[in-house]
Amino acid sequence: MEIEAIRERIRCGAFAVTDHAMLEGFKEGITVADMVRTIETGRIIERYPERQRCLIFARRADGLPIHVVVEYLARSVVDLVTAYVPQRQRWIRDQVRKKRER
């Protein structure tokens, strides 16, 4: 699913926020409004087609980087699966996953 289709679902209110997204997001000071804004203004930085999910990145107005994982199994609704602040040791500029050392 492309970002515009996901945004359309959000605009129509055709989305659900999982308990996991609320718990993890709130632990890091991310509200549901922040999650929605991330989807409205962000971009897809990773796709997980085998799980029908994608990872969206944006910065909050105060500069805080936010990642939101969106699942689109049901074509009429999207689920916000999790939200978190990317950890510097795992991400380059909060947008590119670092390669794991072996």
**pLDDT of the chain along its 102 residues, tens only?**
899 999 999 999 999 999 999 999 999 999 999 999 999 999 999 999 999 999 999 999 999 999 999 999 987 999 999 999 998 887 777 777 777 655
Whether 56 and 39 have beta carbons less than 8 Å apart is answered as yes
User: Residue 54 is part of which domain span?
Assistant: 3-90
The answer to whether residue 38 sits within a structural domain is yes
Whether 68 and 56 have beta carbons less than 8 Å apart is answered as yes
The answer to whether residue 27 sits within a structural domain is yes
Q: CATH number of the domain that 46 lies in?
A: 3.30.2310.40
Closest listed residue to residue 65, CA positions, set 99, 32, 93: 93
**pLDDT value at position 88?**
81
The answer to whether residue 101 sits within a structural domain is no
The answer to whether residue 62 sits within a structural domain is yes
How many separate domains does the chain show? 1
**pLDDT value at position 50?**
95
**pLDDT value at position 19?**
97
The answer to whether residue 79 sits within a structural domain is yes
The answer to whether residue 14 sits within a structural domain is yes
